[in-house]
């Protein structure tokens, strides 16, 4: 529970007037409602206000909360880049909306395209002399997965990039490039070479861990350390899907984009979500699927075989942190132990009461473990 003194709230010694507000309210993961506020306000809340929470899914450290007369969160005023699907306006989560407003496209020159690929990413707010972080995402997702954890990392003073892996996210793929593993690797390398330019801490959740392993083994000079979050690294590519006729592959991808399947997958990743939050998070997770080239890019990746990094794991030389949500319903926990035993220089930390995506579900704990590792 959070108790605010009558007439003010304090953030880093700065008082914000709340007029006649004298209520207690729960800071929860759903961010759906709050007691009446006399007017629209912007409230900053830090971990010092949060204690004793046992909720299954939550954002422990709320960085920006919006309240509105009537008790329902309005859409925060955000100007979205024109290249995002118009459905971004329907997203209710204020953290997702804020991060979406920060997405940019930067030109990346690669050998397999005659023109630069305008590549979607979120640039750092913080400049640091320390090695920067580069946040990847999982299979068929986007940088919006980092909507809760990225602000915490920035508040910790870490220079943090978030990038969309080639073929997913919000890059401009009108002239569809190949989206196989080698192309994803080269695109990531050229992005690093053009903009980051020094060794980085590469963070890979789920399939993003396979992307990170493939990249770190191929370009060790670019990677200082690795962080894996519920890593999906033991699948042998896309398996039999690579042998599908193209018409069947497109049919499968159509189902992959469908709301029923996305709702099911979201419910597996996060148990106990209120229905309204389940729908909103599903819409966030499939927003990039609404771009016109998504189906072709996904079919291309599927038919080219996908990631198979099993034989590369023992070649990883960088110090590695393995984070694992103990209640993962998607990846077997035994694989975390196996990965820890096979990596030459790794430590493992488990996150209790947490599923497949700790950086969404337990963002405060995740960011704390990351900063301690660095």
Strands 14-17 and 24-25: unpaired
d(CA 173, CA 201): 27
d(CA 225, CA 212): 10
Strands 24-25 and 104-108: unpaired
d(CA 20, CA 149): 32
> Is residue 128 annotated as part of the catalytic site, yes or no?
no
Strands 14-17 and 160-163: unpaired
User: Which residue in 206, 232, 363, 367 is the catalytic one?
Assistant: 206
Are the C-beta atoms of residues 143 and 169 closer than 8 Å to each other?
A: yes
> Is residue 328 annotated as part of the catalytic site, yes or no?
yes
User: Which residue in 328, 359, 363, 367 is the catalytic one?
Assistant: 328
d(CA 266, CA 356): 10
Who's near 176: CB < 8 A, 6+ residues apart? 293, 296, 297, 300
Name the percent of the chain in helix, strand, coil, to the closest 5.
40, 20, 45
> Is residue 356 annotated as part of the catalytic site, yes or no?
yes
| Helix, coil or strand: residue 32 | coil
Tokens of 249: 């592959």
User: Which residue in 29, 137, 187, 356 is the catalytic one?
Assistant: 356
| Helix, coil or strand: residue 318 | coil
Which residues are catalytically annotated?
206, 328, 356
């Amino acid at each position: 529970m959070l108790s605010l003194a009558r007439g003010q709230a304090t953030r880093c010694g700065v008082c914000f007037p709340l007029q006649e507000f004298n209520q207690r309210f729960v800071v929860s993961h759903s961010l759906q409602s709050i007691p009446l506020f006399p007017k629209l306000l912007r409230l900053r809340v830090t971990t010092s206000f949060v204690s004793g929470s046992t909720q299954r899914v939550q954002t422990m450290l709320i960085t920006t909360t919006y309240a509105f007369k009537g008790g329902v969160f309005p859409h925060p005023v955000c100007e979205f880049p024109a290249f995002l699907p118009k459905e971004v306006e329907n997203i209710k989560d204020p953290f997702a909306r804020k991060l979406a407003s920060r997405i940019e496209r930067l030109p990346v020159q690669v050998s397999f395209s005659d023109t630069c690929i305008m590549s979607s990413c979120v640039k750092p707010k913080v400049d640091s002399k320390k090695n920067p972080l580069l946040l990847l995402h999982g299979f068929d997702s986007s940088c919006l997965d980092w909507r809760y954890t990225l602000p915490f990392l920035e508040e910790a003073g870490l220079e943090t990039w978030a990038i969309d892996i080639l073929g997913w996210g919000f890059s401009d793929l009108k002239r569809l490039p190949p989206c196989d593993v080698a192309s994803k690797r080269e695109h990531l390398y050229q992005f690093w070479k053009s903009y980051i330019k020094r060794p980085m801490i590469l963070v890979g959740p789920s399939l993003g861990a396979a992307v990170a392993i493939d990249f770190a083994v191929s370009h060790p000079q670019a990677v200082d350390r690795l962080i894996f979050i519920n890593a999906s690294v033991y699948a042998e590519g896309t398996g039999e899907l690579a042998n599908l006729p193209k018409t069947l592959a497109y049919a499968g991808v159509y189902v992959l984009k469908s709301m029923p399947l996305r709702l099911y997958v979201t419910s597996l990743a996060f148990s106990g979500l209120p229905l309204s939050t389940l729908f909103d998070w599903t819409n966030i997770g499939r927003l990039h699927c609404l771009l016109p080239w998504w189906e072709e890019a996904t079919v291309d990746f599927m038919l080219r075989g996908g990631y198979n990094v099993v034989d590369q794991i023992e070649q990883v030389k960088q110090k590695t942190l393995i984070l694992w949500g103990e209640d993962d319903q998607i990846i077997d926990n035994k694989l975390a132990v196996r990965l820890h035993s096979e990596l030459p220089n790794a430590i493992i930390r488990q996150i209790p009461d947490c599923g497949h995506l700790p950086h969404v579900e337990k963002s405060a704990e995740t960011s704390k473990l990351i900063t301690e590792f660095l």
